[in-house]
Amino acid sequence: CLTSKPPMRTMTLLECISRAVLLSQPADITKFLEAHLTQMIEFGGPNQTDLKEVAFHYQEQWGESDWF
């Protein structure tokens, strides 16, 4: 039985990924996650250190587009 919670940054990333999967309902989740996370990393840029901030802004942009 796990009693500890994952770090907040991990939870933010999991929420962002879960939302993207639920909205797009990909046939191949593994390929979808690979592409989605790659795009999120590129979106954040090389100097971005706050994963929560990147996930929030990427999710906001992704939810407004026709990517799914």
pLDDT at 55: 77
Res. 51 pLDDT band, cuts 50 70 90? confident
Res. 32 pLDDT band, cuts 50 70 90? very high
pLDDT at 68: 44
DSSP symbol at 4:
S
